[in-house]
């Protein structure tokens, strides 16, 4: 009788939980299985693994204090992982075609979170920086999200809370770019009188960027923790890094 390995992920940080889970899944061969124990319902994880087509997911225990899943590998992800890796290499070099972008989005929709973590590890071992990897994947995630919102129809997509957050995010980036431009114009202004128009524009932009902090807090205090409790770890981590970059850029300007 074969003993199935049980991985207890209860009480771990999201980073440690992710490391242990993905490491274990990497070792599971086709037909093999592993059991995972968590203190919350891992519905997003189960859905992602099923959608990837490489694992069958069975619930062995369903709360309230513990959920136990058995993950049975039905296929190996290597081929799809290699395809997405090659597309990300092309994207980093700026040579990814529109057809390649569409193929990358399609792969991102079906690859499970474990496979994406292994993909990140492989690219890092090849020398690609973690920042570049996350930036490329974040761009794809946003494109997939945009496709999903568009599929809701014009009225539904326009009213969706995620659409509001995405539009606020674009507005913040536009304000920072405008602030760059105003700063250059102020440096080049020959006199205070000549700079009055730019100073008024600067005042409006600074007021707009002060409001941006409430946008970040809404995401960090409400949305991100909820996603992480559901086992959705990568998008919040990417967006937190983006917020810190925006804050540093605002401070520098």
Kindly report, residue by residue over 48-102, the tens digit of the pLDDT. 777 766 788 999 999 889 999 999 987 666 777 888 888 888 888 888 888 888 8
Q: What is the pLDDT of residue 114?
A: 66
Q: Which of 28-32, 37-41, 154-158, 201-205 has the lowest mean pLDDT?
A: 154-158
Helix (H, G, I), strand (E, B) or coil at 67: strand
Is residue 170 domain-shared with residue 226, that is, in the same domain? yes
Q: What is the pLDDT of residue 157?
A: 47
Is residue 42 domain-shared with residue 105, that is, in the same domain? no
Domain end (from 150, 176, 202): 150
**Tokens of residue 210, six digits:** 């002060």
Separation CA 198–CA 203 (nearest Å): 9
Q: Whole domain around residue 113: which residue ranges? A: 78-150
Is residue 58 domain-shared with residue 98, that is, in the same domain? no
Is residue 224 domain-shared with residue 198, that is, in the same domain? yes
The residue-averaged pLDDT of 15-43 equals: 86
From 119, 141, 123, 144, select the one nearest 132 (Cα to Cα): 123
Separation CA 116–CA 41 (nearest Å): 21
Is residue 130 domain-shared with residue 82, that is, in the same domain? yes
Is residue 91 domain-shared with residue 143, that is, in the same domain? yes
Is residue 64 domain-shared with residue 99, that is, in the same domain? no
The tally of domains found in the chain comes to 3
- 152 vs 8: which has the higher pLDDT: 8
Is residue 174 domain-shared with residue 139, that is, in the same domain? no
Is residue 129 domain-shared with residue 166, that is, in the same domain? no
Separation CA 92–CA 104 (nearest Å): 13
Domain end (from 150, 171, 199): 150
Give strand ranges (E) for the chain. 5-8, 33-38, 55-62, 67-73
Cis check: omega of the bond before 162, within 30 degrees of 0: no
Torsion of CA 91, 93, 99, 102, to 10 degrees: 0
CATH of the domain at 47: 3.30.110.40
- Residue 35 scores a pLDDT above 50: yes
Q: What is the pLDDT of residue 162?
A: 60
Q: Which of 60-69, 154-163, 234-243 has the highest mean pLDDT?
A: 60-69
Is residue 118 domain-shared with residue 101, that is, in the same domain? yes
| pTM for the whole structure | 0.40
Domain end (from 73, 91, 122): 73
- How would you classify the pairing of strands 67-73 and 5-8? unpaired
Is residue 90 domain-shared with residue 128, that is, in the same domain? yes
Q: What is the pLDDT of residue 176?
A: 76
């Amino acid at each position: 009788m074969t003993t199935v390995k049980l991985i207890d992920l209860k009480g771990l940080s999201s980073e440690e939980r992710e490391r242990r889970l993905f490491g274990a899944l990497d070792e599971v061969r086709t037909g093999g299985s592993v059991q995972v124990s968590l203190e919350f319902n891992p519905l997003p994880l189960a859905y992602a693994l099923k959608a990837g087509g490489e694992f069958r997911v069975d619930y062995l225990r369903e709360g309230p204090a513990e959920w136990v899943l058995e993950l049975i590998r039905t296929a190996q992800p290597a081929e799809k992982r290699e395809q997405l890796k090659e597309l990300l290499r092309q994207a980093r070099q700026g040579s990814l075609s529109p057809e390649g972008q569409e193929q990358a989005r399609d792969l991102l929709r079906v690859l499970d979170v474990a496979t994406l973590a292994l993909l990140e590890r492989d690219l890092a071992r090849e020398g690609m920086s973690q920042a570049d990897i996350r930036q490329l994947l974040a761009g794809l995630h946003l494109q997939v999200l945009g496709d999903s919102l568009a599929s809701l129809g014009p009225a539904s997509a326009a009213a969706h809370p995620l659409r509001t957050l995405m539009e606020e995010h674009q507005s913040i980036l536009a304000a920072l770019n405008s602030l760059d431009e105003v700063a250059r114009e102020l440096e080049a202004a020959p006199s205070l009188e000549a700079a009055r128009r730019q100073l008024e524009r600067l005042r409006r932009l600074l007021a707009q960027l002060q409001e941006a902090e409430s946008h970040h807090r809404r995401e960090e205090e409400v949305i991100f923790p909820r996603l992480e409790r559901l086992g959705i770890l990568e998008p919040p981590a990417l967006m937190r890094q983006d917020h810190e970059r925006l804050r540093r850029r605002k401070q520098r300007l």
